[in-house]
């Protein structure tokens, strides 16, 4: 089945610890995105990548880092510099075409909690 | 600047009735796409419907239709014959065709009452 997988479903972070959230897609999409969702709020863009080995900061990139070594994978690391990481994290992908219909498809999300 | 506004934090509808969820947007881009997503309690975002800014007709997908009024910059979602499974958060989003970023509203929580 084609789709986007995220792991783990729940993640617990200790103070001062870096943690990495996994996102994999087999849709052959070029573009991938990471969003953060807090209760009662919409989605805020952390990072996005249009092609392999290239990515851009979104609105709330501070305290996060990403890599895009493979087309299928776009892992997000929440560093110790992110002082309030408790949130729901959603990964998405799209074809990456300029113009026209460009629907984003989402993974099931990862809930990150700080111990 | 791009902005999506959803002014209804919560809505209730009787089962089998129709409901309209409001969305207004602001963009200086002449060409853009508008999207609606459904987020059930499980958390996954489910794509519902798309409308292009140059599409002459309003988009429809089964029980979902998008009431697109370009001059008013509104893109309301209409759900007909509501079902209990429609209870969820609904997000409006926009993507200017000149870029790759999507912009989301804060969402509307819909509760369908039996």
Render pLDDT for A11-28 as a digit per residue (tens, 0 to 9).
Answer: 998 888 999 999 999 999
User: Which pLDDT score, from 0 to 100, does residue A100 have?
Assistant: 58
Render pLDDT for A55-112 as a digit per residue (tens, 0 to 9).
Answer: 999 999 999 999 999 999 999 999 988 888 999 999 999 988 766 577 899 999 999 9
Using pLDDT thresholds of 50, 70 and 90, give the confidence band for residue B64.
Answer: very high
Give the residue from chain A lying closest to B109, CA to CA.
Answer: A40
Q: What is the 3-state secondary structure (H, E, C) of chain A?
A: CCCEEEECCEEEECCCCCEEEEEEECCCCCEEEEEEECCCCCEEEEEEEEECCEEEECCCCCCEEECCCECCECCEEECCCCCCCCEEEEEEEECCCCCCCCCCEECCCEEEEEC
Position B65 pLDDT exceeds 80: yes
Most A CBs within 10 A among B102, B106, B108, hence the mutation to make, goes to: B102
Say which of A48, A88, A109 has its CB closest to residue B100. Answer: A48
Tokens, residue B85: 């499974």
What is the distance between the alpha carbons of residues A89 and A82, in angstroms, rounded to a whole number? 14
What is the distance between the alpha carbons of residues A50 and A102, in angstroms, rounded to a whole number? 13
How many other C-beta atoms are found inside a 10 Å radius of the C-beta of residue A85? Answer: 20
Are the C-beta atoms of B111 and B11 separated by less than 8 Å? yes
Q: Do B47 and A105 touch (CB under 8 A)?
A: yes
DSSP-assigned states of every residue in B91-106: EEEEEETTSS--EE--
Region B31-45: what's the mean pLDDT?
94
Using pLDDT thresholds of 50, 70 and 90, give the confidence band for residue B37.
Answer: very high
Using pLDDT thresholds of 50, 70 and 90, give the confidence band for residue A1.
Answer: low
């Amino acid at each position: 089945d084609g789709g986007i997988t995220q792991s783990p479903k729940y993640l617990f972070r200790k103070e001062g610890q870096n943690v990495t959230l996994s996102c994999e897609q087999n849709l052959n999409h070029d573009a991938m995105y990471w969003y953060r969702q807090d209760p009662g709020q919409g989605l805020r863009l952390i990072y996005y990548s249009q092609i392999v080995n290239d990515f851009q900061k979104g609105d709330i990139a501070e305290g996060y880092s990403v890599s895009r070594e493979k087309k299928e994978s776009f892992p997000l690391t929440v560093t110790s510099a992110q002082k309030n990481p408790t949130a729901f994290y959603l990964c998405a992908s799209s074809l990456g075409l300029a113009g026209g219909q460009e629907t984003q498809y989402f993974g099931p999300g990862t809930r990150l909690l700080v111990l | 600047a791009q902005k999506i506004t959803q002014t209804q934090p919560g809505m209730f509808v009787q089962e089998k009735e129709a409901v309209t969820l409001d969305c207004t947007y602001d963009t200086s881009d002449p060409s853009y796409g508008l999207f609606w997503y459904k987020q059930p309690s499980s958390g996954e975002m489910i794509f519902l419907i798309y409308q292009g800014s140059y599409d002459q007709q309003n988009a429809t997908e089964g029980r979902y239709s998008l009431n697109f009024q370009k001059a008013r910059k509104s893109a309301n979602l209409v759900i007909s014959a509501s079902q209990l499974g429609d209870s969820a958060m609904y997000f409006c989003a926009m993507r200017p065709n000149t870029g790759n970023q999507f912009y989301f509203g804060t969402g509307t929580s819909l509760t369908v009452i039996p």
